[in-house]
Amino acid sequence: MASNVNRQVLLKSRPEGIPESEHFHIVEGVVPTPVGNQVLVRNLYLSVEPAMRGWVSAVKNYAEPVPIDGVMRSFAVACVEVSCHPDYRVGDIVTGLFGWQEFAAVDAEAIQRKVSDADLPPSTALGVLGLNGITAHYGLLEVGQPRPGETVVVSTAAGSVGSCVGQIAKLKGCRTVGIAGGPEKTQLCTEYFGFEAAVDYKATDFSQQLAAACAGGVDVYFDNTAGPISDAVYEHLNIGARIVVCGTASVANWDPPPHGPRVERHLLLKRARVEGFVVLDHPEYEVIALKDLADWVRAGNLRYLEDVLDGIEQAPGAIAGLYRGDNRGKRLIRLTPA
């Protein structure tokens, strides 16, 4: 270690809605010393993801809120610097909730996994070969249960989960329609990620575009947005449709919840199902998904984009940028040792 400084991003105040850079501050701590069986890791890449909005919110959620003046919760891929645990050796590449900081001393149980796909870049462990890919795999295949020939519609289709969903659906023989914001992203959907059609939700003729792209109806809708985008998709459900609720990116604030057209009539007429899931409930699924995902990446059947910001000082503003749609692909913060 070239320095004894551990720069950390702490939560300064709780945002109403989307966290901005002003809600965080960067402090210089001291690199911790592992105690007991702990492992000292040096973070290589920090993850930035939409779920972070929920993690800093005081509103009831599936994880405890990050405390004020606590290190921002984050997945990271890291290199083991010091190990007091027999399962880990110096130089191992590991992932876990190591936080927005340069170094973390963690119990072995806090390590999510050791990255074994050494032929693939470590950053992929936070995206296509990490939570995003596993979320897409589980949500589409286990919750959505697509059958060959069916039409699968995905919102935030150019994003790191959505692009993965579209490609997996295509690998499973489905027809895929992506929904994204603006011509650059819809082009990315069709030309880079192989969606058969892509629809621009920012276009004035969005509903007509969607109707044209879904002329045969929608069998699976992988919903990353909720809101008016979903309302438009519900108009085209086929009998027996499955809606996978993965995220609600289009809703800035759930307290109180926004109102929209009630959906029960669609669900009755179409004998349709809407189901929410949280992939962290299914840790046993990780191995199954990662095997498929790594094989598909190696075979060139699963493409991904990374949006890499350099330096921990980029972290505080990085979540708001996601919600503005600034990123192209999985947003990461790359840390370079001082």
- Which residues are 106's β-sheet partners? 39
**Cβ 152 to a copy of itself, closest distance in Å?**
18
With binding defined as CB under 8 A, does residue 62 bind a copy of itself?
yes
**With 0-12 CB in 10 A as exposed, 13-18 as middle and 19+ as buried, what is 172?**
middle
Q: Which of 60, 91, 148, 299 binds a copy of itself (CB under 8 A)?
A: 60
Which of these, 180, 177, 167, 112, lies nearest to 140 by C-alpha position? 167
**Cβ 134 to a copy of itself, closest distance in Å?**
16
d(CA 187, CA 305): 14
- Among left, alpha and beta (phi > 0; psi -120 to 50; other), residue 113 is beta
With binding defined as CB under 8 A, does residue 274 bind a copy of itself?
yes
**Cβ 146 to a copy of itself, closest distance in Å?**
17
Q: Closest CB to a copy of itself among 68 and 278?
A: 278
Q: Tell me phi and psi for residue 275, to 5 degrees.
A: -140, 130
Q: Closest CB to a copy of itself among 234 and 296?
A: 234
Binders of a copy of itself among 217-256, rule CB under 8 A? 223, 226-227, 230, 245-248, 251, 254, 256
What is the DSSP secondary-structure string of 269-332?
Answer: HTT-EEEE--GGG-TTHHHHHHHHHHHHHHTT-S---EEEEESGGGSTTHHHHHHHT--SSEEE
Which of these, 49, 64, 65, lies nearest to 134 by C-alpha position? 49
Size of the site for a copy of itself (CB under 8 A): 37
How many CB atoms sit inside 10 A of residue 196's CB? Answer: 16
Q: Which of 67, 216, 260, 311 binds a copy of itself (CB under 8 A)?
A: 260
**Cβ 318 to a copy of itself, closest distance in Å?**
22
Q: Which of 268, 284, 299, 338 binds a copy of itself (CB under 8 A)?
A: 268
With binding defined as CB under 8 A, does residue 110 bind a copy of itself?
no
d(CA 114, CA 136): 21
Q: Which of 14, 85, 172, 273 binds a copy of itself (CB under 8 A)?
A: 273
With binding defined as CB under 8 A, does residue 275 bind a copy of itself?
yes
Residues binding a copy of itself (CB under 8 A): 60-62, 223, 226-227, 230, 245-248, 251, 254, 256-278, 281
